[in-house]
Amino acid sequence: MDPSPRHPVDQVLPPARLGLLGLQHVLAMYTGCVTVPLVFGAAAGLDTHTIGLLVNADLLVAGLITLLQALGIGRVLGIRLPVVAGATFTALTPMILIAGQYGVQAVYGSMIAAGVFGLLIAVPFARAVRFFPPVVTGSVIAVIGLSLIGVAAGLITGLDPAAPDYAAPKRLALAAGIVLLIILVGRFARGLLAQLGVLAGLVGGTAAAVLMGLTDFSSVGGADWLGVAAPFHFGAPQFPVAAVISMCVVMLVTFTESTASMLAVGEMTGRPVTSRDLARGLAAEGVSGVLGGVMNGFMDTVFGQNVGLVGMTKVRSRYVTAAAGGFLVLLGLVPKLGEVVASLPGPVVGAAGLVMFATVAAVGIGILRAVEFENTANLLIVAVTIGVGMLPVVTPKIYHAFPAWAQVIGGSAITSAALTAFVLNLLFNHTVRQREPARRT
């Protein structure tokens, strides 16, 4: 008898079951993962072929980081828990601003710099999680979701107000139908199917768009079946200081978001996460910034929907998510598939994005439920954070008279909200003794 049986996290399942459970994880996160390159590509004005390249690079990087997190490298990288990595929505708005101000080369240069920054601060961040309590994370995540709703709306209506089909009734009707389908799946489906509502909306919406004459898949035929884009597809990376600062702030927010997910998985699997484990997991996300910047991909975070799937299935083996990582790598090597995804009509992507971005905002609000508001300044911290964060969303040109670097930092709802929440939390909760709660009589 083996005196030290393997922990369920380290158990290797039979190949058939391993593959099916891994594919289940891919289905749960696929839509969220590919939404980032689709939205960024559209906002940056890239053509369909280039967006398809971004989709493939996104899946490839997500797969490699998922493998790294599940399997690990020595005592340096990877949390070795059943987590799945995918492109983070946190970076979307800053990347769009950087692309508009400095170009796509600066997006990937700042991403590389942020990745190096992430590698350097992974250990100290893991020891300083107390400076990112729910009042900070909840406020910032809520702003992330709210700030992206306008991007989704732009995809639904069209990005050119002068275009003949701008906000055309058929575009709005298609988007409304997709949202309705997602609602119906969420209401009547059970188990994994209930988590695939957005994917069902994409598939059903695309089918409807074909019948409505809103699709153009002409570029798919010329795409290769196998291949990978060369590193630095857009040219040598550039490193504007403002862009680097903005993306480093994004890395901090991503670390905060992933920390909560990693701790949750540790509790679910019965393998509590230590500060060393957390540091290895965060360092892997730093690698995603460097790898994404080199391979034309995106920075990754631990996907919450896959954390939920671990809790739902009770399958704790990290080799299941490693199998998911393998599937993602394979998908990233099929340019023709990326071209298909890149050809999805704007209203379809926008409707799916609308639900996902609003869900992110709702998650932030849910985190704020754990905040103590009575006899504290936390309500003021939340209020000011949301107010400052949403300013550049409701008035995009509010900082137009400032230098370019200030426009990139201040003009990003996510960057400005994160900085505001962090500073205010330090000011109110770490520099003065808190008032004693009033006694109830």
Domain residue extents for the chain: 9-219+230-429
Token reading at 35: 């939404």
pLDDT at 4: 60
Top-confidence residue, 272 or 173: 173
Mean of all residue pLDDT scores within the chain? 86
Least confident of 81-95, 183-197, 309-323: 183-197
State the DSSP code for 13: P
Phi, psi of 265 (to 5 degrees): -65, -40
Give the long-range contacts of residues 362-366, CB within 8 A, separation 24 or more: 362/145, 363/141, 363/145, 363/304, 364/137, 364/138, 364/139, 364/140, 364/141, 364/142, 364/143, 364/144, 364/145, 365/138, 365/142, 366/138
pLDDT at 292: 95
Top-confidence residue, 380 or 303: 380
Token reading at 334: 């099929």
Q: Which amino acid is at 333?
A: L
Q: pLDDT at residue 150 above 80?
A: yes
Q: Residue 164, Cβ neighbours under 10 Å: how many?
A: 7
Concatenated DSSP letters of 215-284:
---TTGGGS-SS--PPSSTTSS----HHHHHHHHHHHHHHHHHHHHHHHHHHHHHT-PPPHHHHHHHHHH
Q: pLDDT at residue 250 above 80?
A: yes
Token reading at 43: 């906002």
Model pLDDT for residues 338-395, shown as the tens digit of each residue:
888 888 788 888 888 888 888 878 888 888 988 898 888 999 999 999 999 999 888 8
Q: pLDDT at residue 295 above 90?
A: yes
Phi, psi of 300 (to 5 degrees): -110, 160
Mean of pLDDT values over 73-101: 90
Q: pLDDT at residue 63 above 90?
A: yes
Q: How confident is the model at residue 3 (pLDDT cuts 50, 70, 90)?
A: low
**Rounded distance, CA 199 to CA 341, Å?**
12
* Burial profile 362-391: b = 16 or more Cβ within 10 angstroms, e = fewer: ebbeebbeebeeeebbbeebbebbbebbbb
Q: Residue 261, Cβ neighbours under 10 Å: how many?
A: 20
Top-confidence residue, 291 or 11: 291
- Ramachandran category for residue 84: left, alpha or beta (phi over 0 → left; psi -120 to 50 → alpha): beta
pLDDT at 439: 46
